[in-house]
Amino acid sequence: MAELSERKKQILANVVEMYIKSGEPVGSKGLISSSGLNCSSATVRNEMNELDQMGYLLQPHTSAGRIPSEKGYRYYVDNLMPVREIDEFTKRMIDAGIAPAAGDPEKLVNRARELLADITKCAAVSTAPVGEMNVIRKIELVPVGRHTAMMVLLTSNGILKSRLCRIDTDFSVTILEQFYKISESFFIGKPSGEISPADIQTIAASVDTDYFVMLPLLAAVSDLSVSTNDSRIIIGGGANLLSRKDYGDQAIPLLEFLNRKEPLSEVIRSSKDDLNVRIGSENMFKQLEKSSVVVAKYSVNGDNSGSISVVGPTRMDYKTVISSMKYLTDLLGRLITSALEE
Amino acid sequence: MAELSERKKQILANVVEMYIKSGEPVGSKGLISSSGLNCSSATVRNEMNELDQMGYLLQPHTSAGRIPSEKGYRYYVDNLMPVREIDEFTKRMIDAGIAPAAGDPEKLVNRARELLADITKCAAVSTAPVGEMNVIRKIELVPVGRHTAMMVLLTSNGILKSRLCRIDTDFSVTILEQFYKISESFFIGKPSGEISPADIQTIAASVDTDYFVMLPLLAAVSDLSVSTNDSRIIIGGGANLLSRKDYGDQAIPLLEFLNRKEPLSEVIRSSKDDLNVRIGSENMFKQLEKSSVVVAKYSVNGDNSGSISVVGPTRMDYKTVISSMKYLTDLLGRLITSALEE
DNA sequence: GTTAGCACTCTTGATAATCGAGTGCCAATC
DNA sequence: GATTGGCACTCGATTATCAAGAGTGCTAAC
């Protein structure tokens, strides 16, 4: 990639930032007045023309100003964007918002995602902290009535789910013991994704306790273990995309795409670096061609573990998005590491 | 209200149903061809004209077909709508969807809400089953590591919330005993809405255990008790409203209105009957003037308890909405009653 | 290399013309 | 007296036309 002259860089940076702010194509006159450029609009026009031909800028139509092309955004993000510290206000907001979740990895991730969506006014996606082995770590069953009990399931990556369940006979020590025995041999240490409703039937039939007593309990285990899996990738702030005029009425299909989760999950998985910016059609999915996706990983105990991402229009405010995400992943990593410490 | 002639009823019913289906104003010709009416379009025009003057129909503009007025919808819902049984397919869908939640009141309500949103393609709102006294019933703290523990909080209306929490010293029997003592004297039996973060500070300071050991545990109680309150009224399927062309771009402000929750809560509270239909401006809020709200109560142990509601355009398919809601409230009432049984 | 000037292009918004669906009404009919 | 066919009329929606304005590209001068 040919190096750009200093002035071209300055012009490109200004076009990108003005366009991000206003959403309107920026013309030579406007650029002159809003930036410290020391030359006439004609000069800027010439430079812009060259940037256009080099592929950094686009003209929506002949008689309009310029907007950044994907290549332009890319150059801006890689070379021109000021590496700014997060601003104090946002930092405070994050610190305060995340505090009540301290100690619980899942809640930390959830808060982080919601904060990120609020700050960036884009959709935010989180994935749970998941090590190589993500297995069921503990199951507790605590009776709260003759027929009802609270069941709690904890996975090795710190996701905790709970629900009530009910059997038709009275809870007895025998039943509880039997349940814990089954739990110990069939569930503990197993990946939570591997417990299917079909298995439940088999297991319930194979034990010597009454099938119809044990079945609802095992079904509850299955339900909980499904929900730990469901909460591994979550999208928040989708409504923010609706107010982004960049999408017009294309926001709804985009939301539908995001909610399918599998493709999104693939996008995230294919991001190798700690911080990965994919602009427009750099994303493998045509549904994302007008969007940028920023994926940032957080580390637990020094291992890359989970991620938070931002999905928004290519016109998103990369400066703010990236500085917030850097701060958040750092904080999140430290807090989760400490929450998972023995 | 003056009684309508048999033919007028037939015409009104047809206009309502055709308009619900197509979203287009229905004209005299179209009505003839799509309904078994045994007369000419001119006759229909005369009748429609009268219905118009009586206030049951509206003309969006002089040279368009007719659409039902609010009064027209009202008459349709009260007198003309076939009281149809829920169709077999929807019934199956509900039964299958709700099964995995059996035993847990909160999950049952959540599933019901999501199913209702899916079926009606509208927003669905649920309120938790709440008796007169909704208090904290049980708190459990189960260590899962030297410094970490699972905390579970159960309210008297069957809402269960859990999270991990962490202290800086090792968990000891003393700490657990102390926690349960505090819990017993300050939390159990208290309305979950009354535990404020400020109280937590006071309580932590007032006990003889180390302030900094107990504080995070009490903060976790507070956090959980806040979340039991948050889940008392929940909106689902809001995205469905976006695809409803009736709202155009008014869907977003409507969603914002719904998410404020307080006014919505008032709408629900003011519904006395088991099944209450409010059409357009019958709702007290101008934000709902283009919407209908259907509120259906479910009963736990014979007492009216919680509700599920549908919010959608006045043009919603009342037949399907109402038949589904009747089936759901009945099912929900029975399942929750049984889940809460001692 | 830079700048002023000017002709050119293309969007935007407003205004006007046309089209068509659907009505209201009247006179004829059953 | 209710019903119907026929017809003029109305009004929204679509399309066409036009002027204004913003911004460019190019050229010639500095």
- The CATH number assigned to the domain holding B73 equals 1.10.10.10
CB-CB neighbors (< 8 A) of A337 in chain B: none
Please name the residue ranges forming H helices in B186-306: 197-206, 211-230, 238-242, 251-259, 262-269
Nucleotide C25 C1' to residue B43 CA (A)? 12
Q: What is the CATH number of the domain that holds B225?
A: 3.30.390.10
**Residue in the structure block whose two tokens are 């110990």:** A184
pLDDT score of A205: 85
- Domain check: are A126 and A236 in the same one? yes
Q: Are residues B237 and B322 in the same domain?
A: yes
Same-domain status, A238 and A122: yes
In this structure, the answer to whether residues B108 and B201 fall within a common structural domain is no
- A286 in Cβ contact with A272 (< 8 Å): no
Distance CA B52, CA B11 (A): 12
Asked if residue B186 is part of any domain, the answer here is yes
Contact between A342 and B243 using a beta-carbon 8 Å cutoff: no
Residue A307 shares a structural domain with residue A171: no
Chain B residues whose beta carbon lies within 8 Å of the beta carbon of residue A137: 144
What is the reported pLDDT for B267? 96
Task: Answer yes or no: is A213 within a domain.
Answer: yes
From A220, A246, A279, the end of a domain falls on A220
Q: CA of A50 and C1' of C30: distance in angstroms?
A: 83
- Cα–Cα distance for residue pair A135/A158, rounded to 1 Å: 10
Q: How far is the CA of A284 from the C1' of C9 (A)?
A: 36
Residue B1 resides in a domain: no
**What pLDDT score was predicted for residue A194?**
87
pLDDT band at residue A187 using 50, 70 and 90 as cut-offs: very high
CB burial readout B96-131, b (16+ within 10 A) else e: eebebbbbbbbbbbbbbbbbbbbbbbbbbbbbbbbe
pLDDT at residue A1 is higher than 80 = no
Q: What is the pLDDT of residue B132?
A: 60
Helix (H, G, I), strand (E, B) or coil at B225: helix
Task: Say which residue, A3 or B60, is predicted with more confidence.
Answer: B60
Answer yes or no: do A45 and A189 share one domain: no
Domain boundary among B230, B253, B274: B230
Q: In the complex, which nucleotide's C1' lies nearest to the CA atom of residue B46?
A: C24
Length of chain B equals 342
CATH classification of the domain holding A111: 3.30.450.40
The CATH number of the domain holding residue A155 is: 3.30.390
Q: Do A342 and B148 touch (CB under 8 A)?
A: yes
CB nearest to A147's CB, from B147, B238, B342? B342
Substitution target in A121, A148, A168 with the highest count of B β-carbons within 10 Å is: A148
Read off the pLDDT of residues A276-308 as tens digits, 9 standing for 90 and up. 999 999 999 999 999 999 999 999 988 878 999
In a domain, A237, yes or no: yes
Nearest to A339 among B140, B148, B338 (CB): B148
- Distance in Å from C15's C1' to B11's CA comes to 41
Q: Nucleic chain D: which protein residues 45-84 of B have CB below 7 A from it?
A: 45-46, 60-64
User: Which residue in the block uniquely carries the two structure tokens 């007492």?
Assistant: B303
Instruction: Assign A61 to helix, strand or coil.
Output: coil
Distance from C-alpha of B187 to C-alpha of B250, rounded to nearest angstrom = 44
Give the closest-approach CA distance of B153 to chain A in angstroms: 10
Q: Rounded mean pLDDT of chain A?
A: 93
Query: How many whole angstroms separate alpha carbon A126 and alpha carbon A131?
Result: 15
Question: B7: which 2 tokens?
Answer: 């033919």
Cβ neighbours of residue B136 closer than 8 Å, sequence gap 6 or more = B153, B154, B155, B156, B187, B188, B189, B190, B191, B192, B195, B225
Reading the block at residue B70, the tokens are: 């609010």
B90 in contact with nucleic chain D (CB within 7 A) = no
In this complex, the residue of B100, B166, B252 whose CB is nearest that of residue A339 is: B166
The answer as to whether B294 is a domain residue is: yes
Q: Are residues B97 and B43 in the same domain?
A: no
Same domain membership, residue A200 and residue A142: yes
Residues A187 and A317 in one domain: no
Tell which of B230, B265, B295 closes a domain: B230
Chain A partners of B103 at a C-beta cutoff of 8 Å? 148, 163-166, 216, 220
Find the domain containing A18 and state its range.
6-80
* Contact predicate A18/A61, CB 8 Å: no
In a domain, B118, yes or no: yes
Q: Is the pLDDT of residue A34 over 90?
A: no
Q: Give the model's confidence band at A8: pLDDT under 50 very low, under 70 low, under 90 confident, else very high.
A: very high
What integer is the mean pLDDT of A98-102? 93
Looking at residue B4, its pLDDT comes to 86
Q: Where are the alpha helices (DSSP H) in chain A?
A: 6-22, 28-34, 41-54, 70-75, 88-98, 105-120, 173-182, 197-206, 211-230, 238-242, 251-259, 262-269, 318-340
Helix or strand or coil: residue A137?
A: strand
Residues A101, A240 within the same domain: yes
Residue B262 covered by a domain: yes
pTM for this entry: 0.92
Nearest CA-CA distance, residue A218 and chain B, Å = 11
Instruction: Give me the residues paired with residue B163 across strands.
Output: B151
pLDDT tens digit at each of 342 positions of chain B? 557 899 999 999 999 999 999 999 999 999 998 877 888 899 999 999 999 999 999 999 888 899 999 999 999 999 999 988 899 999 999 999 999 999 999 999 999 999 999 999 999 999 998 766 689 999 999 999 999 999 999 998 889 999 999 999 999 999 999 999 999 999 999 998 888 888 888 888 887 777 888 999 999 999 999 999 888 899 999 999 999 989 988 899 999 999 999 999 999 999 999 999 999 999 999 999 999 999 999 999 888 789 999 999 999 999 999 999 999 999 999 999 988 877
Is the Cβ pair A138, B146 closer than 8 Å? Answer: no
Number of domains observed in the structure of chain A: 3
Query: In this prediction, what percent of chain A has a pLDDT beyond 70?
Result: 99
A213 and A298 share one domain: no
Q: How confident is the model at residue A132 (pLDDT cuts 50, 70, 90)?
A: low
Protein residue nearest nucleotide C10, by CA to C1': A63
CA distance A164 to chain B (A): 5
Whether residues A159 and A35 share a domain: the answer is no
Distance (Å) from the alpha carbon of A199 to chain B's nearest alpha carbon: 15
For residue A25, pLDDT beyond 80? yes
Residue A28 CA to D19 C1' — how many Å? Answer: 24
Residues of chain B found within 8 Å of residue A338, distances taken between Cβ atoms = 166
Tell me, yes or no, whether B22 lies in a domain. Answer: yes
Average pLDDT in the A78-83 region? 93
